[in-house]
Amino acid sequence: MKLTYLVNVQILRFFAAALVVFAHVGVEVGNVAARTGRAFEEIGLIDWGLGVDIFFVISGFIMYYMMHDRFGAPGAPADFLRRRLIRIVPLYWICTTLMLASLLAAPQLINNNGLDLKHIVASYTFIPWPRADGELFPILSLGWTLNYEMLFYALFAVALLLPRRAGLAALGAMFILLIAAALLAPDRFFLLKFWGNPIIGEFLLGTCVAALFLNGRRLSGAVALGLVVAGIALALAFFQTAAYEHVWRLVTGGIPAALIVAAAVLGPALRENGLARALALGGDASYALYLTHPFTIKLFGVAGAKVGLPLVAIYAIGFALTVLVSVGVHLWVEKPIGQWLVRKTSSPKRAVRAAS
């Protein structure tokens, strides 16, 4: 029996989150090594942030796949935004509050760059705002990606006001104009510079993959595997070039990510087995994994250092713990809250669809 193509996407979500977690576990292990006088060298083979690029491409794919038949439909923009807010906001607010409490209670354990009311409010409202060191990171620093997600949701909701062809054209035009304006704007316009970063083009790459999928385009297993290999090879090659930091991330991360997502979506569906089901569950919990792993890593890093665990054990066990914790958070926190909000905000006819 084969799983569906969207399960392929869920499994890829898990691997994307795992890339980010792997990098952050390495950072914490490096911190432990520095505190305990041990030697450690991070694995710098690839930019592990490629996981974020994959997330952005998947997001563009999912949004267009879900809503492709609702362009111009009455109430579609509001329904879309309601579902996205239910999906994204609750767990992010919970984790942001936990990080805020941690900064206040144990600042010595966390890179505390200072707090002010504007930054706190901006962190909860998905507005990029400079913290004390001038960087545009929210209280939960990895929430910078969600600031881009919310921008995409807003622009996509505007596009949904129009018939499909006009809506897609408008969506592309809004992204292009935003990027162009940001490139021309002086640095003091930091909101425009952030929102107009070319990385937002990765969402459009995802919509292109969705259009291919909806038009019935499919790839053989061999071609799909070739795309994955090409995507990884490109990511490796870009990362090893001297000009890597000066090239748009849309190119160095977005193109490899789009190739990998296209392979997962357009290639053959995976056969059902225990491993595939476990990885799909990891994909279901990928948002929880992304948001909760900093807490798990930090706590286990402190505990592991105190009992003198070998660095490799802190790395391996820490990574495994982040996955286990995220599955628990997904099943017992994220999912019940989402289901409750769906029931409270949806008509019975739309409740099932809103939970997707």
Alpha-carbon distance of 115 to 133, in angstroms, equals 10
- pTM here is 0.94
Mean pLDDT of 64-89: 97
| pLDDT tens figures, 11-32 | 999 999 999 999 999 999 999 9
pLDDT level of residue 172 (50, 70, 90 thresholds) = very high
pLDDT level of residue 3 (50, 70, 90 thresholds) = low
The pLDDT of residue 43: 77
The pLDDT of residue 109: 64
The pLDDT of residue 332: 98
Measured in whole angstroms, the distance separating CA 145 from the mean position of its chain's CA atoms is: 6
Mean pLDDT of 47-61: 96
pLDDT at 279 over 50: yes
Share of the chain above pLDDT 90, in %: 82
| pLDDT tens figures, 93-107 | 999 999 999 998 877
The pLDDT of residue 128: 97
Mean pLDDT of 194-207: 97
The pLDDT of residue 243: 64
Measured in whole angstroms, the distance separating CA 19 from the mean position of its chain's CA atoms is: 11
Alpha carbon dihedral 327, 330, 333, 335, in 10-degree steps, equals -150
Query: 45-49 long-range CB contacts below 8 Å, 24 or more apart?
Result: 45/236, 45/239, 46/232, 46/235, 46/236, 46/239, 47/235, 47/238, 47/239, 47/244, 47/252, 47/253, 48/19, 48/20, 48/22, 48/23, 49/19, 49/20, 49/23, 49/253
The token duo for 57 is 């491409």
Helices (H), the chain: 5-36, 50-67, 76-105, 117-125, 144-159, 164-184, 190-195, 201-214, 221-240, 249, 255-266, 274-284, 286-306, 311-329, 335-345, 348-354
Q: Are 239 and 47 in contact (CB under 8 A)?
A: yes
The pLDDT of residue 187: 92
Q: Whole-number mean pLDDT of the chain?
A: 92
Identify the bridge partners of residue 2 per DSSP, sorted by sequence position: 271
Alpha-carbon distance of 42 to 354, in angstroms, equals 42
Alpha carbon dihedral 311, 313, 316, 319, in 10-degree steps, equals -80
The pLDDT of residue 78: 97
User: For residue 310, with 0-12 CB atoms within 10 Å meaning exposed, 13-18 middle and 19 or more buried, which class applies?
Assistant: exposed
Alpha-carbon distance of 249 to 239, in angstroms, equals 11
Q: Are 12 and 6 in contact (CB under 8 A)?
A: no
The pLDDT of residue 242: 60
pLDDT at 319 over 70: yes
The total domain count for the chain is: 1
pLDDT level of residue 241 (50, 70, 90 thresholds) = confident
The token duo for 282 is 């990891």
Q: Are 202 and 257 in contact (CB under 8 A)?
A: yes
Mean pLDDT of 169-188: 97
The pLDDT of residue 112: 59
pLDDT at 352 over 70: no
pLDDT at 329 over 80: yes
The pLDDT of residue 351: 46
Mean pLDDT of 109-115: 67
E strand or H helix at 310, and its extent? none
Q: Range of 307's domain?
A: 5-354
The pLDDT of residue 354: 44
Alpha-carbon distance of 209 to 60, in angstroms, equals 9
